[in-house]
Amino acid sequence: MKKVYSTAVTATGGRNGHVTSADNVLDADVRLPKSLGGTEDGHLNPEMLFAAGYAACFDNALMHVIRQEKVTAGTTIVTAEVDLLQLDGGKFGLAVKLLVDVPGVDRAKAEELVNKAHEVCPYSNATRGNIEVKLEVK
């Protein structure tokens, strides 16, 4: 295994706190959404950050697979819907649905490309067997 990139983000204050990357590119407050007892919506939260990372990473994996297979496609779009779940015994978990649009490619080929991207994507590999991830091709 060869390390190809590293980063670090520091959090203080938990879900009503602040996150800062080592290079200060990410420097933002995070807040509880109303549904979790926060005062208002419209702020960053950990699930939103996870969704952004997964969507961007999966889209890049999909573009990688498309290039490798020399498929002509339009601009791909990946939306990650992340659910915070309350599990038994006071535990919490996540579930993800990836909504994927591969324009200019028939549905069967798009599903094949999405499944291959799911094997390549680091987020997919990290979550596989740990959380439910559903793939939906538009």
Q: What CATH number did the domain enclosing 25 receive?
A: 2.20.25.10
Q: What is the mean pLDDT of residues 63-78?
A: 98
pLDDT of residue 59: 98
Domain with 76 in it: 46-137
Query: pLDDT tens, 30-64?
Result: 999 999 999 888 999 999 999 999 999 999 999 99
pLDDT of residue 130: 94
Both 114 and 53 in a single domain?
A: yes
Residues 6 or more apart whose Cβ sits within 8 Å of residue 18? 11, 12, 27, 28, 29, 30
Total structural domains within the chain: 2
For strand 132-137 and strand 92-101, is the pairing parallel, antiparallel, or unpaired?
A: parallel
Query: pLDDT tens, 77-124?
Result: 999 999 999 999 999 999 999 999 999 999 999 999 999 999 999 999
pLDDT of residue 1: 93
Positive or negative, the CA dihedral 85, 86, 88, 92 is positive
Both 57 and 39 in a single domain?
A: no
Both 92 and 125 in a single domain?
A: yes
| Contact yes or no for 136/106 (Cβ under 8 A) | no
Q: What is the mean pLDDT of residues 132-138?
A: 97
